[in-house]
Chain A
Amino acid sequence: MNIEDELRGALDVSAPPPTTTLDQVLKRGRRRVFAQRAGAVLGVFAVVAGIGIGATTLNHAAPDPTPADQPDHGPATVEHATGWPRVETPPQIPYGTWSPATSAPPPAGRAVLQIPLCNTKEPLEVWGLGTEVLSAKTVDGLIDLVRRELPEVTVSNAPGNSIKDAIEFDLTDSGGTGSLSISAGRFPGTPQWHANDNLWSTGDCEPARRLSLADGTVMQLHGVRPFEPFQSLKQVLEVYRKDGLYVRLELRNFGSPDVRPDPDKPGVLQRVGAGRATLPLSEEQFSRLGPAIAEVG
């Protein structure tokens, strides 16, 4: 007996009659086709839903936009990309949360920012701020560098501001108009000491971000702080140069369209507009000005 021959005849066996009918197979086959098509459609829906849920989740997982005293976590700056490290010191403990005054609330539709509030610590040494310490050449240099370093923003001089107390600019982009104010002074001693002396002078809760240059210049970027009216926002960048020149840059969420001369107080501007929802520069854009100021002659 050859076993392979036996196997070759394995299909030729007596068999019971089949019980499966064509109708059965067609019905099951059609159900399977329908299920496959439904599965494909559901798959597409699942992918679309997945993308939607993913986008929503990522959006929710993004940094909480409320603590505007932390510019790397809030909406007050659009981008958060400065590489400056925070000063290594414990943060302040908040004593409360920002709440706008009922007499000057933010405009309708603008969310109230849940900003932690911390104590302001006045520096031990203070000096006058203005533009008197700046030479005409330095003033020109500062005006030029702002325009040069911020090509993506429309920079214009805010009307009604002399250059006596500060050099003022309007900064405008698609989000609206804000402003930048530059003032200066002279300090005795070392940049590092004064930077430390002013660490909590703006009421930050988290330590400021700081970058020291090789020539001894220290730049200090404070957090975004709210103030009245209309939930105004500001952020301060300080530059302590090795030559004893102190330059203070204050970024604001409002500009010249939001102020007008006070009819009752000549020479004084009156706030009338809430300004934009965010500061006009991201943290990265704002911090760009620091090293440039260190080099102004």
Chain B
Amino acid sequence: MRRDEEFSEFFTSRFDWARRTAYAMCGDWSEAEELAQNAFVKAYAKWPSIRRDTAVAYVRTIVTRLFLDSRRRRREDPVADLPEHGVGGRFDDPDARLHAALRQVPPKQRAALVLRFVHDLSIEQTAAELGCSIGNVKSQTARGLATLREAYGEPVTSECA
């Protein structure tokens, strides 16, 4: 089946990327796995109508929206203090520190940061994937960066003044 062949190829090349994107947003590997899997299941169902050159963006949009939906359904416990150990290792691991700090950023701001800086999307593209206005993306991004800087607890520079 051509559908399955094409999709299999896409899954093989992009599942881990989707899982890591989900992890950047949710900070939990098992949840990230679930988000990515659900996104690919949805993509499979819509596969005949998805343009191949937009399939990556399509899956990323699903991951983002599934993440935000999950946070709307259950209030995420805010992390008052940085955990002693990061998810992926000890706290002195820079990656773990980043993801722990990200978890202190509210979900929508976090999604905006991931799309804008992790995926290097423009403000317009980010607005399209989040399903909100450009102005909303700008404010969410600015507030997200401010929260992230605070979470780091030490002076950090920023491209955005």
> Which stretch, A12-20, A101-109, A223-231, A234-242, touches the partner chain B?
A12-20
State whether A7 touches B98 (Cβ < 8 A): yes
- Using Cβ atoms and an 8 Å threshold, which residues of chain A touch B91? none
In angstroms, Cα B41 to Cα A123, docked, is 84
State whether A7 touches B157 (Cβ < 8 A): no
- Using Cβ atoms and an 8 Å threshold, which residues of chain B touch A22? 8, 11-12
- Using Cβ atoms and an 8 Å threshold, which residues of chain A touch B41? 25, 28-29, 32
In the complex, per-residue mask of A1-43: 1 if CB is within 8 Å of any chain B CB, else 0: 1111011111111111011101011101110110010000000
Nearest Cβ in chain B — how far from A208, in angstroms?
Answer: 66
In angstroms, Cα B29 to Cα A28, docked, is 20
Of residues 79 to 124 in B, which have CB atoms within 8 Å of A's CB atoms?
88-89, 94-95, 98-99, 102, 113-114, 117-118, 120
Nearest Cβ in chain B — how far from A277, in angstroms?
Answer: 56
Q: Does B23 contact A (CB under 8 A)?
A: yes
| Chain B residue at minimal CB-CB distance from A32 | B45
Nearest Cβ in chain B — how far from A28, in angstroms?
Answer: 4
Q: Does B148 contact A (CB under 8 A)?
A: yes
Nearest Cβ in chain B — how far from A133, in angstroms?
Answer: 82
- Using Cβ atoms and an 8 Å threshold, which residues of chain B touch A20? 15, 19, 33, 36-37, 40
- Using Cβ atoms and an 8 Å threshold, which residues of chain B touch A24? 37
Q: Which of B17, B21, B42, B158 contacts A2 (CB 8 A)?
A: B158
Q: Does B127 contact A (CB under 8 A)?
A: no
- Using Cβ atoms and an 8 Å threshold, which residues of chain A touch B114? 7, 10
- Using Cβ atoms and an 8 Å threshold, which residues of chain B touch A15? 16, 19-20, 23, 29, 88
| Chain B residue at minimal CB-CB distance from A25 | B40
In angstroms, Cα B89 to Cα A14, docked, is 9
A and B contact pairs by CB, cutoff 8 A, 27 listed: A1-B156, A3-B149, A3-B152, A4-B117, A4-B145, A6-B94, A7-B98, A8-B117, A10-B95, A10-B114, A11-B17, A12-B95, A13-B20, A14-B88, A15-B16, A15-B19, A15-B29, A18-B33, A20-B36, A22-B12, A25-B37, A26-B44, A28-B41, A29-B45, A29-B47, A32-B45, A33-B44
> Could you tell me which A residues sit within 8 Å of B by CB distance?
1-4, 6-16, 18-20, 22, 24-26, 28-30, 32-33, 36
Would you list the 3 A-B pairs with minimal beta carbon distance, nearest first?
Answer: A29-B44, A7-B117, A13-B95
> Could you tell me which B residues sit within 8 Å of A by CB distance?
4, 7-8, 11-12, 15-17, 19-21, 23-24, 29, 33, 36-37, 40-45, 47, 88-89, 94-95, 98-99, 102, 113-114, 117-118, 120, 145, 148-149, 152, 154, 156-160
